[in-house]
Amino acid sequence: MRTFNGLLLIILISGIFLGALYFQEDFPEVKISKIEKKETIEKDSSSEMKINPVSEKKSNISLSSDILEQSDTLLIKVNSEEKPKANLGSKYIGFARIGDYWFGFLGISVSMEPGTYDLNINDDIEKIKVIEKDFPITELIVTDELEEQGHTVSAIMERIVNENAMIKQVLNIYTDTAYFNDVFGYPLKKNIVVGKYGSIRKSGDSVVQHLGVDLDADMNTRVYAVNNGKIAFAKELLNYGRTIIIDHGLGIYSLYLHLETFKVLEGDMIEKGEVIALSGNTGYSIAPHLHFSIKLNRSSVDPLKFIETVIQ
């Protein structure tokens, strides 16, 4: 094996997503008034999936890393004629053929217990170490304007349960084939982070975790599909606003929240880079922005680190 460097919010006490999607076991995510630090990532058009090897055991198997933090993505690259079989405990890992290699994707959940795990690839056992990640704690903000619109903390907490249940039904569907044959791209031309992934937001006894990133986007900014897939969900929700979910296959879903205008319909097959929506300020949102998240087999992962893992 070689090692190389390189897709809602969790309801903690009574959870929600503040302008994003907040989920448990990592299901569904919020716009924040303070921008801690802006990070700009240009949209990448590269079509080559690269892996930088760090150590070697078997020449036909490579891992993005064998030490991962909670919310990281593990990318597995296998050079073989037959489709690999792999699992981490009860988690099945699907593989997509891209170029000359098979690529498998495993999400390290934000709630996964730190420790050492056995990764089984074609009956070869590799050790994977998961370490705890510290997430910043911030205030869960509800402005007077939002309260006038009915977005009180108690109302948000009640709605989140119903909305998360709807989204969970979508994410529970596993497509055993990949709709994509290329690496994942970014949802905006310029991706400026204004709300970090994993931040824990508190208001009194209510605590939620932000399981996505908030990206700076003026009203009606074009939002792009990060890869080929099928539109599994396109509806307006009270908390998350107009929301699109794309099924990319192999348990990989991308989610886009607080949209202004849909450019696609449920059931549409779309291609990477296609405009799927215009950004907005719908639902429980403090200002215009795009909430973007990735789910891997129902596990929430840092979406930007997911993209970086497969293109670096």
Which tens digits make up the pLDDT trace of 116-169? 999 999 999 999 999 999 998 877 767 767 677 766 777 777 787 889 899 999
Q: What is the pLDDT of residue 36?
A: 38
For residue range 162-220, list pLDDT tens digits in order: 898 999 999 999 999 999 999 999 999 999 999 999 888 777 777 788 899 999 999 99
Q: 247 near 179, Cβ under 8 Å? A: yes
pLDDT at 312: 55
> Residue type at 181?
N
| Residue 56 pLDDT level (bands cut at 50, 70, 90) | very low
Q: Say whether pLDDT at 290 is over 80.
A: yes
Torsion of CA 92, 197, 190, 41, to 10 degrees: -80
Q: What is the pLDDT of residue 8?
A: 37
Beta carbons within 10 angstroms of residue 130's beta carbon = 20
CA dist 45 and 50 (Å) reads: 14
pLDDT at position 21 is: 40
Task: Select the CATH number that applies to the domain covering 7-44+133-302 from these four: 3.40.50.300, 3.40.470.10, 1.10.260.40, 2.70.70.10.
Answer: 2.70.70.10
| Token pair of 208 as six digits | 């939620």
Q: According to DSSP H, which parts of 30-76 are helical?
A: none
Architecture, CATH, for domain 52-131: Sandwich (2.60)
**Gap between the Cα atoms of 267 and 228, Å rounded:** 13
pLDDT in tens, 62-115: 999 999 999 999 999 999 999 999 999 989 999 999 889 999 999 999 999 999
pLDDT of residue 149: 74
Q: Domain boundaries in the chain?
A: 7-44+133-302, 52-131
pLDDT of residue 28: 52
Which pLDDT belongs to residue 59?
A: 61
User: Would you state the structure tokens that stand for residue 59, as one six-digit string?
Assistant: 């020449």
Q: How many residues does the chain have?
A: 312
